[in-house]
Every structure is written in structure tokens, then in C-alpha cells.
Amino acid sequence: MARRFPRVMGLAKMCRNRNISFKSLDPPSSLTHGIHIFHCPDAVGIVAKLSECIASRGGNILAADVFVPENKQVFYSRSDFVFDPVKWPRVQMEEDFLKLSQTFNAIRSVVRVPALDPKYKIAVLASKQDHCLVDLLHGWQDGRFPVDITCVISNHYRGSNTHVIRFLERHDIPYHYLCTTNENKREGEMLQLVQNTDFLVLARYMQVERVSHRDNLQSFVQKSENLEKQCLSKAIRSYCELRVLPYEENKTVVF
């Protein structure tokens, strides 16, 4: 497993110190979009050097967010920028950001160009309920998620005539049914199945929705399912857009 999707902590609780955020005008369609995230010890001049690195190659920053937690002496940033791949080749870009990370002893420096880089490979862990899984699969089919699905793993058997199985077979996506018990979670087998993936997606995400006395059981279930689908969709896009950064042991910074 190359990466693990970390738990997400709300912005209201996390980002309350030196925060900078700005957006520029829409770029010309001839330019290519890039994303860069940076995590390093806090120091003077980081933002200036980041801007210089991009501008010196003819790039233009469209949006930038900075988070420096109070009394932590660490720096986090995420930048959206556009560039001309002819003037700033992808290999040169990697070298430029590597030099910058070495200058500031960066803990993490990642640059991604969605139009040029390989799509993220994901494996989906599904439960008995289909609504999140079906929404994810159709979103992937419609191009809403820039990912490749390597497989779907579930502890629930689905027959060959079900909508999910027919969809997966049509798109050559393997479905692995692993019957689990309290004594045997079959975690070793799961890890083998996801060896070549970038991150795992749990196809249900619980949230709370406001309900009233006018809600019946059917409307309550529908609200819950809609929220789960929305949360899952947003989480996948946020990860692919490098909006989630690890923070301390079990927290995250979300841009």
C-alpha cells in the first residue's frame, strides 16, 4: 500500500493562525494546471521562494493557501499554478521543487500535474449497502474522479446478476469477496490485493444530518445516504487534489 488516507479534521479547529489565501483570474486554456504542496520548518521567505520558483519558469500562481499552526514552528502550503510544459518540462519542474525542498529542509514537497501524471490507483472496500459504491462507480465512469479503480473488495457476496457485478465486469474491474469473521478479518489477504494501489477508499462515510418530526423513515434513510455519497465524493477529490496533509500523529490539515 503506497499511501494511506488519513483522518480528516475540520478546518475550523485546525486553521486559526497565520493563514494566507488568494485566487487569481482564470488562466488561458493553452496552459497546463499544476498543484504543489509544501511542509517544512517555519522560516522567513518561504512564500517568496515558492513564488520565485514558479515565476522564474514562466508559471503563474492562481491560488495559494498557507497554514502555520500556533506555537508549532511548522509551515504548510498548497499552491495552484499554471505553466507552459514547453518552457517548464515536467522533469525540470521536479528538480526545481526538489532544490527548494532541500533549501528549507522540507518534510514533504509534492508536485502534481493532473494532465501529465498517471492517475491515482485506488482500491475500494465496500459493505453490504450499495449506494456509496454505486455512486463512486458511476462518478468514475463519468470522469468526476481522476483515478483508476484496481479492484473492489467486500465482505458481502454479490451475485453475477446484480447491478454492481455487471458494471464491474463490463469495465474489467475485479471483485473480491472475502468472508470475514471476528476471529479472521483476512487483513493479510486484503493487503495483498491492494499492493499496487495509491490509497484505499471505504465506500461508506458516516455523517449527521439535521432531521425534523416531519421526516419519516424513508426520508431519513435517503438523507443519510445522500450525505454519505457527498462526503465520499468530496474526500476522493480532496485527496486527488492534494488538499489533505498529515498533521502530527492522527490529524490532518485540509486546504
Give, in degrees to the nearest 5, the angle at Cα 15 between 211 and 44: 170
Q: Rounded to 5 degrees, what are φ and ψ at 116? A: -115, -30
Q: What is the SS3 assignment for 92-154? A: HHHHHHHHHHHHCCCCEEEEECCCCCCCEEEEEEECCCCHHHHHHHHHHHCCCCCEEEEEEEE
> Rounded CA gap, 169 and 101, in Å?
44
pLDDT reported for residue 84: 96
Give the residue from 136, 138, 143 showing the smallest Cα distance to 122: 136
Region 22-35: what's the mean pLDDT? 75
**Cell numbers of 199, please?**
490509497
**Cell numbers of 76, please?**
504548510
Q: Where does the pLDDT of residue 247 fall: very low under 50, low under 70, confident under 90, or very high at 90 and above?
A: confident
- CB burial class (10 A; 0-12, 13-18, 19+) of residue 74? middle
Reply yes or no on whether the pLDDT at 50 is more than 50: yes
Q: Where does the pLDDT of residue 16 fall: very low under 50, low under 70, confident under 90, or very high at 90 and above?
A: very low
Reply yes or no on whether the pLDDT at 235 is more than 70: yes
pLDDT reported for residue 2: 37
Return the number of other C-beta atoms located less than 10 Å from residue 211's C-beta.
12
Region of poorest pLDDT, from 96-110, 127-141, 192-206, 218-232: 218-232
| Sheet bearing 147-154, strands edge to edge | 175-177, 147-154, 120-126, 199-202
This prediction's pTM: 0.78
Region 49-73: what's the mean pLDDT? 94
Q: Where does the pLDDT of residue 149 fall: very low under 50, low under 70, confident under 90, or very high at 90 and above?
A: very high
Percentages (nearest 5) of helix, strand, coil residues in the chain? 30, 25, 40
Region 96-103: what's the mean pLDDT? 97
Domains of the chain: 11-116 (3.30.70.260), 120-204 (3.40.50.170)
Reply yes or no on whether the pLDDT at 79 is more than 70: yes
> Rounded CA gap, 76 and 109, in Å?
10
Q: Percentage of residues in the chain with pLDDT exceeding 70?
A: 80
pLDDT reported for residue 19: 60
Residue 104: partners with Cβ closer than 8 Å, 6 or more residues away = 38, 40, 41, 43, 46, 49, 75
Reply yes or no on whether the pLDDT at 61 is more than 90: yes
Q: Where does the pLDDT of residue 9 fall: very low under 50, low under 70, confident under 90, or very high at 90 and above?
A: very low
Q: Do residues 153 and 122 touch, judged by C-beta distance below 8 A? A: no
Reply yes or no on whether the pLDDT at 220 is more than 60: no
pLDDT reported for residue 87: 95
Give the residue from 168, 114, 116 showing the smallest Cα distance to 137: 168
The string of pLDDT tens digits covering residues 109-146 is 999 999 999 999 999 998 888 888 999 999 999 999 99
pLDDT reported for residue 215: 58
Cα 81 to Cα 43, 98, 120, 233, 246: the distances in Å are 22, 17, 20, 24, 22
Helices (H) and strands (E) in the chain, counts: 7, 11
